[in-house]
């Protein structure tokens, strides 16, 4: 992926990693279109970044995805990149019978990118060069047991990205997978954004952009901080690593779940 001269749609672009990526690519001279469900967040972002565009999109809604794809064909015919950033993460207690959260996570994190890719691909195949960037997670490779469906969707996105890349190998469309570590955003709430255990957002974005600039043909974008998770299965002690990783989080999860539904 060239670092500049693209027309890029970034889902979930009004906050967190999505907004930070949008601003970074905007600064490199790309035409950036951000999408999301929260109009006020989109508006704040484009007001702070003159020249950036926004379009409301409910990534859970198949009809809305088709509407946005049609609108983009008319408003931005040069669209040649999409970054599938929109996603939700919720803790779940698997002993609770309510699967509402799980279904919402699957629809947003997995079906959303699949549907949007299908809707945008005819337009992108017409471009001289195009990029689909999926966003998985280090948790796709070493799941955190307190967020089982989130981790499962990210593992599925990794698998989907590999198949998508192979099927599109003889087309102008390239497929990249961004693999974030634990980053300071509000993905799980305000406290998440200041957690000292998480990677600062600016440092993450700076490293991501440096990787893209240095290796524009990379299949995966992995900052140094995510590599222990990405390579966990190759380390020879996966089961022990998995147990240590999840034991460190189980105490807080147990306190949260005691007699309560996972919401």
Q: Which domains does the chain have, with CATH numbers?
A: 7-257 (3.40.50.720)
**Is 25's pLDDT higher than 70?**
yes
Tell me what pLDDT residue 251 has: 61
Q: Which of 150, 166, 182, 238 is catalytic?
A: 150
Tell me what pLDDT residue 30 has: 98
Dihedral sign computed on CA atoms, order 27, 78, 41, 212: negative
CA 209 to chain centre: 15
Catalytic residue check, 182: no
Mean pLDDT of the chain: 93
**Is 262's pLDDT higher than 60?**
no
Grade residue 194 by pLDDT with cuts at 50, 70 and 90: confident
Tell me what pLDDT residue 3 has: 96
pLDDT (tens digit per residue) in 155-171? 999 999 999 999 999 99
Query: Is there a contact between 181 and 225 (Cβ–Cβ < 8 Å)?
Result: yes
CA distances from 176 to 36, 83, 134, 219, 243 (A): 21, 9, 6, 5, 30
Backbone angles phi, psi at 260, to 5 degrees: -125, 145
CA distances from 250 to 167, 247, 254, 260 (A): 40, 5, 6, 15
Residue 115 CB neighbour total at 10 angstroms:
20
Terminal alpha carbon distance of the chain = 38
**Is 257's pLDDT higher than 80?**
no
In the block, residue with structure tokens 């390239």 = 174
Backbone angles phi, psi at 83, to 5 degrees: -115, 115
pLDDT (tens digit per residue) in 97-128? 999 999 999 999 999 999 999 999 999 999 99
Tell me what pLDDT residue 252 has: 53
Strands (E), the chain: 7-11, 31-36, 53-56, 81-84, 130-135, 173-178, 220-221
């Amino acid at each position: 992926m060239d670092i500049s001269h693209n027309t890029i749609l970034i889902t979930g672009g009004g906050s967190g990693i999505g907004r930070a990526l949008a601003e970074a690519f905007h600064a490199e001279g790309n035409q950036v279109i951000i999408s999301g469900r929260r109009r006020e967040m989109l508006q704040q972002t484009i007001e702070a970044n003159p020249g950036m565009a926004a379009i409301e999109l409910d990534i859970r809604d198949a009809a809305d995805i088709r509407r946005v794809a049609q609108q983009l064909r008319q408003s931005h015919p040069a669209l040649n990149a999409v970054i599938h950033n929109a996603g939700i993460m919720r803790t779940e207690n698997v002993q609770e019978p309510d699967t509402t959260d799980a279904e919402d996570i699957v629809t947003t994190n997995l079906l959303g990118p699949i549907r949007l890719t299908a809707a945008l691909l005819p337009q992108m195949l017409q471009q001289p060069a195009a990029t689909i960037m999926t966003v998985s997670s280090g948790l796709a490779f070493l799941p955190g047991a307190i967020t089982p469906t989130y981790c499962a969707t990210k593992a599925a996105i990794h698998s989907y990205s590999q198949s998508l890349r192979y099927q599109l190998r003889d087309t102008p469309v390239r497929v990249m997978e961004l693999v974030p570590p634990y980053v300071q955003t509000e993905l799980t709430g305000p406290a998440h954004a200041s957690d000292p255990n998480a990677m600062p957002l600016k440092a993450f974005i700076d490293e991501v952009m440096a990787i893209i600039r240095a290796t524009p043909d990379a299949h995966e974008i992995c900052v140094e901080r995510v590599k222990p998770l990405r390579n966990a299965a190759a380390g020879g002690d996966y089961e022990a690593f998995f147990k240590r990783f999840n034991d460190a989080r189980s105490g807080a999860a147990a306190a949260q779940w005691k007699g309560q539904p996972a919401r």
